[in-house]
Amino acid sequence: MFESFLPGKGRRQAKKNIGGEGSGRGGGSGQDKEAVKPGGRTDPEVGEPGEKNKAAWVRSGRELPSGPVSGDLADGLQANISALKNRFKNSADVIYREFTVRFGHNPKAVLIYIDGMVNQETTSGTILKPLMFDIEGRDYMPSSGLRGLADMADVIANRALPNKRVVEAKTLKEVVDGILCGNTALLIDGSPTALVIETKGWESRNVDEPGTESIVRGPREGFTENIGVNCSMLRRKIKDEDLRVESMELGRRTKTSVYLAYIDGVASREMVDEVKRRLNKIEIDGVLESGYIEQLIEDAPRSIFPTVGNTEKPDVVAAKLLEGRLAIFVDGTPFVLTVPHLFIEGFQSSEDYYSRPYYATTVRLVRYLAFIIAVLLPAGYVALQSYNQDLLPTSLLISMVVSREGTPFPSYMEVIIMGVIFEIMREAGVRMPGAIGQAFSIVGALVLGEASARAGLVSNSMIVVVALTAIGGFALTSLADVIGLLRLFFIACAAPLGLFGILMGGLAVLIHMLKLYSFGVPYLLPVAPGNLNDLKDVFIRAPLGSQVLPPRILGHRNVARTMSRRRPPGKD
């Protein structure tokens, strides 16, 4: 089932996604119900339609296929070339390189590949050169000689080509899929078997520090858009033969490579099976980024809280795998998904474990404080300003009343207006070029804030509240979406009911979070239900020597992950 080199082979897809226990959202159109059958048989709704189904294809609005998708290869070279040209139609980037093989019976052959997706040096040096030129002392022929041209492909694959991966293909579909994945297809006249040779070599971005997860101490390398490079970076972190990397393909048209990584014996077998089940139920035309998969496999797609994590850092993925989690790599994106994902992970940073525990604990508590400020400060300001003035000290109340004198809007409208203006500036700063965007955000905030206060549109105290809220949100970039939506929710609760509305809104959010699960794991673990060992890494970051076991909720079966050593060496 997990076979990556010849895309489409053994691929399983279902009609819609089912997250958790039968809930979720479907992906794709639902028109194509089955993949192409192996052995050249094609389902009428997926491959060539056949006479009786052409009318149905026309009614559905889909274009008829341009040529046969499947079917066994012919013995004649020109027949196979014509079939492939008919399939690719007028694709100018598909190259057909015909030549003569210089051994055996000197048959005609052709190389077919897509320009820009293959390594030209590999194609010329490891395929064309061994087959086109007579090299002195070369002996590719078996001692028994060729049994015929049908035996030529096997001789070339095992005796002539030094490429790391060569796969035989007997159907047009296997050849087409191999070419579309960046490989080179070799067809020989008289042979019903083609060779799909790995020659991938397109340009990709170099390994660089991720811009979304900046740190002061720790590894600075980040994932790239190349899934092979990303997998190798993980292998360098975890040199363990139990690290499993299973491959599959998703997307009927994009045929995107997806890797599922976990440590056998550490990850729960039930969790591994559940992740595979959800991935295999995805049916969609294309997967262009890991966000597609995230939305199709999460437990609660209608919740504002993410139940699937993502990261660009190999050390973060390695740490999560060592705890029993699973990672999902998607070709074409540097963001790797991790499951299960808990709420507390939004407050944890990889740098916490590279620093001393007391400093890491202080920074983590600051993050919790920043979350409270970013979510509740505007709503608290509205409640205290409009309904619960008696809770404020007299001097502070007088100061707030004076600052609001002459403002035409109620306090909750001030918060909403300033919040919307800030989000517009932030979005504009993100979309503009780097240096210009940063300057625009800073200057725009200063100018608009000062101008709004002077014009009497908003009070000075409101500008302070919005500024503190924005700074608090910047401290937790991974929870930025959640913070923004929760902020609006609590403002809506505080506007009619004050602090009582905030309290009721908080209870509603808490009940909702208690009902959430991430692949069978309670979302609020280890706080609810609680576990003393796991709480050592929630609000504080206890010394590594005291964190002996991985989180119990991940179904670990390995021994202690750290050495429990509470005394310096030589003091035992």
Q: At what angle do helices 77-88 and 172-180 cross, to 10 degrees?
A: 50
Cα(192)–Cα(74) distance, rounded to whole angstroms?
6
Q: Domain check: are 173 and 302 in the same one?
A: no
Q: Domain check: are 144 and 223 in the same one?
A: no
The one-letter amino acid at 123 = T
If one compares 181 and 277, the residue with the highest pLDDT of the two is 277
Is the model's pLDDT at 570 over the cut of 90? no
pLDDT tens-place string over residues 203-229:
788 888 898 888 889 999 999 999 999
Cα(534)–Cα(412) distance, rounded to whole angstroms?
40
pLDDT tens-place string over residues 302-324:
999 999 999 999 999 999 999 99
Q: Domain check: are 274 and 373 in the same one?
A: no
**Contact status, residue 193 vs residue 170, Cβ threshold 8 Å:** yes
Q: 493-510 burial string, b = 16+ CB within 10 Å, else e?
A: bbbeebbebbeebbeebe
Mean pLDDT throughout 172-182?
92
Residue 536 lies in a domain: no
Q: Domain check: are 159 and 226 in the same one?
A: no
Mean pLDDT throughout 489-504?
95
Q: Domain check: are 389 and 406 in the same one?
A: yes
- pLDDT-based confidence at 65, cuts 50/70/90? very low
Q: Domain check: are 312 and 420 in the same one?
A: no
Q: Domain check: are 181 and 244 in the same one?
A: no
Residue 532 lies in a domain: no
Q: What's the pLDDT at 134?
A: 62
If one compares 179 and 397, the residue with the highest pLDDT of the two is 179
- Please list, in sequence order, all residues whose beta carbon lies within 8 angstroms of the beta carbon of residue 522, skipping any fewer than 6 positions away: 514, 516, 528, 529, 553
Q: Domain check: are 372 and 514 in the same one?
A: yes
Residue 550 lies in a domain: no
Q: Domain check: are 464 and 389 in the same one?
A: yes
Cα(233)–Cα(236) distance, rounded to whole angstroms?
5
Cα(26)–Cα(295) distance, rounded to whole angstroms?
10
Q: Domain check: are 74 and 169 in the same one?
A: yes
Q: 195-213 burial string, b = 16+ CB within 10 Å, else e?
A: bbbbbbeeeeeebeebeeb
Cα(432)–Cα(446) distance, rounded to whole angstroms?
18
Residue 375 lies in a domain: yes
Name the domain count of the chain. 3
Residue 347 lies in a domain: no
Residue 566 lies in a domain: no
- pLDDT-based confidence at 375, cuts 50/70/90? very high
Among 197, 215, 240, give the residue marking a domain's end: 197
Q: What's the pLDDT at 93?
A: 93
The label of the residue with tokens 């070029």 reads 433
- pLDDT-based confidence at 79, cuts 50/70/90? very high
pLDDT tens-place string over residues 178-191:
999 899 999 999 88
Is the model's pLDDT at 60 over the cut of 70? no
**Among 70-74, 75-79, 228-232, 253-257, the least confident range:** 70-74
- Other CB atoms within 10 Å distance of the CB of residue 83: 17
Residue 554 lies in a domain: no
Q: What domain range includes position 421? A: 362-521
- Please list, in sequence order, all residues whose beta carbon lies within 8 angstroms of the beta carbon of residue 249, skipping any fewer than 6 positions away: 4, 7, 8, 11, 255, 256, 257, 258
Degrees to nearest 5, angle at CA 302 with 297 and 306: 60
Is the model's pLDDT at 148 over the cut of 60? no
Q: Examine residue 68 and say whether the peptide bond preceding it is cis (omega within 30 degrees of 0).
A: no
- pLDDT-based confidence at 291, cuts 50/70/90? very high
Among 491, 521, 551, give the residue marking a domain's end: 521
Q: Domain check: are 170 and 232 in the same one?
A: no
The pTM assigned to this predicted structure is 0.80
**Contact status, residue 298 vs residue 357, Cβ threshold 8 Å:** no
Residue 547 lies in a domain: no
Among 306, 341, 376, give the residue marking a domain's end: 341
Q: Domain check: are 383 and 490 in the same one?
A: yes
Is the model's pLDDT at 445 over the cut of 80? no
If one compares 294 and 462, the residue with the highest pLDDT of the two is 294
Q: Examine residue 496 and say whether the peptide bond preceding it is cis (omega within 30 degrees of 0).
A: no
